[in-house]
Amino acid sequence: MQFDKNAIENLESRYRAALINSVSGFKPANLIGTANPQGETNLAVMSSVVHLGSHPPLLAMVVRPGGDERHTLANLLASGEYTINHINSDIYRQAHQTAARYPAKVSEFSATGLQEQWLEGFSAPFVALAEVKMAMQLRQHMPLEINGTHLVIGEIIHLELPDNAVRSDGSLNLPAAGTVALSGLDEYLTAVALARLSYAKPDLPLREISEESE
Amino acid sequence: MQFDKNAIENLESRYRAALINSVSGFKPANLIGTANPQGETNLAVMSSVVHLGSHPPLLAMVVRPGGDERHTLANLLASGEYTINHINSDIYRQAHQTAARYPAKVSEFSATGLQEQWLEGFSAPFVALAEVKMAMQLRQHMPLEINGTHLVIGEIIHLELPDNAVRSDGSLNLPAAGTVALSGLDEYLTAVALARLSYAKPDLPLREISEESE
């Protein structure tokens, strides 16, 4: 099946949204926790978190200033703080339900039954049942004029991980943490490792890195 | 296991790189094809492609101006064109091997045995064995001063997909396309669907969207 620029432009809008939201490949499935200056909490699924650098430890995300993401953006700009929580296979249905348009006064935490967890001295809530949790400090905010989205760059200032998912070299075993992936707008998936491959060098065959028992 | 800001700062650098490259969750696994003005081709794994919007159809990616990604960036800035090709389970080893530091005159296509495919009137090469292929026109380039990376925004102007992976609503069945995910710096994974969930509404239970046979 092929689409050129005109064919994409002429697709029915929901079909185009479903298609174009799928073509980047697998997406990370995260819940973003924030609070407004009154301490009212908000929780939103975000599939756009992307690694920016490890020193300093920076993650970026693309936020659409509509619907639920509007509150996320307003809250994190006001407080300079937010949390990133991995969605796992025990909570993906509640996570997806956070996208419903609840009245402004209703927290997605209480509406979906996902419990809040707090870190002393940090203003944004974590998802208690998430296995991988990060406290983020806002470092840069760039509105992207090309389509009205916003690039939000934050630094990881606190990190919680399940012991059994951290390998001896520092890499995470995401399936062991229960972390799920997203595809398109609505599909949640678990993952199965094919292989870890050694650092590539010219004229040397790749080795498989075997899983250690921690 | 917990790390605060100081603990992250004091990690051994390879451990920190492995850890921080893992914490965003699952990443898309794509090969970026470019050519320089002399027509010499380049191919690089990129795990940072992110959906920016579907109308116009925009994808962004974060490029690190070091090693192989330097050639990708120079080529796409010079030509304004690049391709995004999904890595699938048949080619992930060759894809990973493109990261080896070949001499500038050696194309990663010929070095790894991945065959080029060309689209008339388009200057960047596709990966013939990729099932999902996109021709991208550069729309915006933003150096990110915070850590010297570059945000590259492109518009999809041509899209090739396997018929059996396109659902009737436009969404892609990524496992059916053989598409793989990346974790950290070196782990490739296949995915298994948990469920597709209906559009969330307050006070309405989520439905599972069942897979149609196309």
Query: What 3-state class would DSSP assign to B24?
Result: coil
CB contact B200 to A (< 8 Å): yes
Per-residue pLDDT at A34: 97
Predicted pLDDT at B153: 98
- The mean pLDDT value for B2-14 works out to 97
Task: Provide the residue type at A74 as one letter.
Answer: A
- Contact indicator for B67, A57 with CB cutoff of 8 Å: no
Residues of chain B with C-beta less than 8 angstroms from the C-beta of A14: 169-170
Q: From the first residue on, what is the mean pLDDT of each consecutive set of 10 residues in chain A (214 residues)?
A: 97 98 98 96 97 98 85 96 98 95 90 97 98 98 96 98 97 98 97 94 87 50
Lowest mean pLDDT among A144-158, B143-157, B198-212: B198-212
Q: For B76-124, what is each residue's pLDDT tens digit? A: 999 999 999 999 999 999 999 999 998 878 999 999 999 999 999 999 9
Min Cα–Cα distance to chain A from B38, Å: 23
Instruction: Answer whether B158 sits within 8 Å of A62, measured CB to CB.
Output: no
Do B109 and B125 contact (CB within 8 A), yes or no? yes
Determine the distance in angstroms separating the CA of A54 from the nearest CA of chain B, rounded to an integer. Answer: 5
User: Closest Cα of chain A to B99: distance in Å?
Assistant: 6
User: Which of A26, A97, A179 to mutate: most B Cβ within 10 Å?
Assistant: A26
pTM of the model: 0.96
Instruction: Give the pLDDT of residue A212.
Output: 55
Q: Inform me whether the C-beta atom of residue B78 falls under 8 Å from chain A C-beta atoms.
A: no
Q: Is the Cβ pair B19, A171 closer than 8 Å? A: yes
The closest alpha carbon to A209, from B85, B67, B188, B19, belongs to B188
Q: In degrees to the nearest 10, what's the CA dihedral of B85, B212, A19, B198?
A: -130
Contacting residues of B for A99, CB less than 8 Å apart: 199-200
Which amino acid makes up residue A178? G
Interface size between A and B, measured as CB pairs under 8 A: 352
**Chain A residues near residue B54 by CB distance under 8 angstroms:** 16-17, 19-21
pLDDT at residue A213, rounded to an integer: 40
Interface confidence, given as ipTM, is 0.96
User: Both tokens of residue B81?
Assistant: 């064109």
Amino acid at B92: Y
pLDDT at B150: 97
pLDDT averaged over every residue in chain B: 95
Distance from CA of A136 to the nearest CA of B (A): 10
- Strand extents, DSSP E, chain A: 2-4, 27-28, 30-35, 41-46, 50-54, 57-63, 81-86, 116-117, 126-127, 133-144, 149-160, 181-183, 187-197, 208-209
Within an 8 Å CB–CB cutoff, is residue A190 touching chain B? yes
Number of H helices, E strands in chain A: 5, 14
pLDDT reported for residue A180: 98
Q: Min CA distance, A37 vs chain B (Å)?
A: 24
Cα–Cα distance, A129 to A109 (Å, whole number):
11
The alpha carbons of chain B give a radius of gyration, in whole angstroms, of 19
**DSSP-derived 3-state class of residue A135:** strand
Contact A127, A114 (CB under 8 A): yes
Chain B residues whose beta carbon lies within 8 Å of the beta carbon of residue A56: 9, 147
N- to C-terminal Cα separation, chain B = 46
Let me know: does A58 contact B147? Beta carbons within 8 Å: yes
For residue B58, give the nearest of A49, A102, A146 by CB distance.
Answer: A146
Residue type, A1: M
**A192·B190 Cβ contact <8 A:** yes
Strand, helix or coil at B191? strand
The residue type of A192 is: V
Residue B162, number of CB atoms within 10 A of its CB: 18
Confidence of residue B212 (pLDDT cuts 50, 70, 90): low
Taking CB atoms and an 8 Å cutoff, what residues of chain A touch B180?
Answer: 26, 194
Q: What is the structure's pLDDT at A71?
A: 92
Contact B98 A200 (CB under 8 A): yes
